[in-house]
Amino acid sequence: MIAKTLQDMFRRYRRPGDIVFATMFFVFSLFLLSQLGSETQVVKRTKWFAQPALWPTIAIWGMVVFSGLHLLSSFLSPRIPGRLREITFWLKSLEYVVYFLIYVVTVPWLGYLPSTMLFAALLTVRLGFRLPGAFCIALVFGAVVAIVFRALLQVNIPAGRVYEYLPDGLRAFALTYL
């Protein structure tokens, strides 16, 4: 249905966690704005449109203005209950950030192949897949990812300290391809 008035077209529908998101984004935009002077530079005897700081300055000022308008409209919109439930839902995703950080820490110890396979298997269990087939698919996926990145694409990933305990021939292979 086509909106009948301009007010209908631009009506703002607030969500439960909108004010928190708007505040965080506005604060982040102000932080970026505060860093402009030290992270970008203005080069003397260069035209304004060729300055290295031009587009970052335009982008960050745009972020500040639009996030400020978003914050203002969040304050002016009617409040919808459920903010705490929404923020709790957002925070639940940080669990997977912790899992990834644990994975990053284990790679230098166990090596890329075992860590990736272990990570894929643990995430499969965490997501609730308990069938042996799903577990096997996760292990094969982890192995394929590690082998493709390490052996085929030659991505330089630190070898695990565990590889030092392997026999000489196997150690050289593991350090290069696993």
- How far is Cα 119 from Cα 96, in angstroms, rounded to an integer? 11
CA nearest neighbour of 37 among 25, 55, 53: 53
CA angle 75-22-17, nearest 5°?
A: 80
Classify 12 as helix, strand or coil.
Answer: coil
CA nearest neighbour of 96 among 126, 141, 118, 116: 126
Give the CA count within 13 Å in the CB-facing half-sphere of 117: 12
Classify 14 as helix, strand or coil.
Answer: coil
Q: Is the pLDDT of residue 153 over 60?
A: yes
Tell which phi-psi region holds residue 160, choosing left (phi > 0), alpha (psi between -120 and 50) or beta: beta
Q: What is the pLDDT of residues 15-53, one digit of tens each?
A: 777 888 899 999 999 999 999 988 877 778 888 777 788
Give the CA count within 13 Å in the CB-facing half-sphere of 132: 0
Does this model's pTM top 0.85? My answer is no
Whole-number pLDDT of residue 140: 95
